[in-house]
Amino acid sequence: WELGPYASVLAFGPAELFNGSSLRQRLWSEEIRLESDADAAARWHAGLFASDGETDGAFTRAFGTFVLESSSYTIDARQIALFGERTVRIGDAFTLTAGARAEESRRGFVRVESAPGKQRYGREQRSRVFLPKLAGRYEWGALTTLFAGVGAGFKPGGYSAFTGNAALAEFGSERTRVLEAGFIRASPDRRLTLTVRLFGYGIKGYQIERSFATQAVADDYLVVNAPRARSLGAEVEWAWRPIENLAVLADLTPMLRRTAGTTRGEVRIEGALASPRLTGRAELRDGEVRLGARFPVLQRLAGEFQLDGERVLVERLRGELGAGPFDIGGSLRRGPRPAQDLASRGSGLLVGE
């Protein structure tokens, strides 16, 4: 893909502040994956992943005829990984999963600067890592499942392209140790499911991306590594299937001649304990509503909705009204100052006789 050239201009009387940038990336990736039968007693999968990409960018800043900064860079990135996982059932209630990923990555970087000074430098770094994983699940009765797991994560290092200081351009890799545990509890009719997950992350070489005051002409935007970081938390999620099939709604009122479709939803509590935020999603598939002979038919309904605090985002609501297609999207805001911002479009809609 290619982004730009992009330019912004601010006028200051007789002179203008010009900022221009361009970005282009070429990326190839391939994954070969082998899997066992999903119903096998011991399930497994294994595979190979490889990618090769190149990113080219350029930036220019000028005030009038005076060029403050002009630079370009190229980043080459290659990655290859072998991965595998095996799940074995032990007894009637316990399931054990063990897996691993071996990965090698390489980053190459070249930066050329023509203003405010002339310089050219290149760097290259390689990293190899082995990431194990071990997880277990225990079915405690018919409605409760306990789970726990340990694992490791890895984010390769790289280079900050927007600093002219060669000593600050390179940043190291980030390694993560993961520990999580929790339980899943279902209602007797299995329409309501509660999931509680506790997690802890220990991070070495935590990558921080932001602007830093480096005593240059302007602040440098770069990535630096913090020695370590820690994250502890909990997640609570409810998944609710209130109606297996929307056909039962037709029995609630004589205005509905026919209803059909399936729904699925989930609600999550996220954020800090002092200020939790309610989020969730809902889906509608194969919906249909018939009100009577004098009303047009709503059919082929499909929608996706997202709840984020006080805002409900209508990501997609599509269907046919009187055999004419329509599409609705936008957002609704509840609370002390409710508002709505919805856009709809359609063609050939039959809305009445």
Buried b (16+ CB within 10 A) or exposed e, 6-32: eeeeeeeeeeeebebbbbeeeeeeeee
Token representation of residue 258: 């026919």
Q: Enter the DSSP assignment of 190.
A: S
For residues 181 and 28, give the distance between their C-alpha atoms in angstroms, rounded to a whole number.
36
For residues 285 and 331, give the distance between their C-alpha atoms in angstroms, rounded to a whole number.
20
Read off the pLDDT of residues 189-233 as tens digits, 9 standing for 90 and up.
Answer: 888 889 999 999 999 999 998 887 766 555 678 899 999 999 998
pLDDT for 353 beyond 50: no
Cβ burial of 290 (10 Å; 0-12, 13-18, 19+) is: middle
More confident residue, 78 or 65: 78
More confident residue, 255 or 261: 261
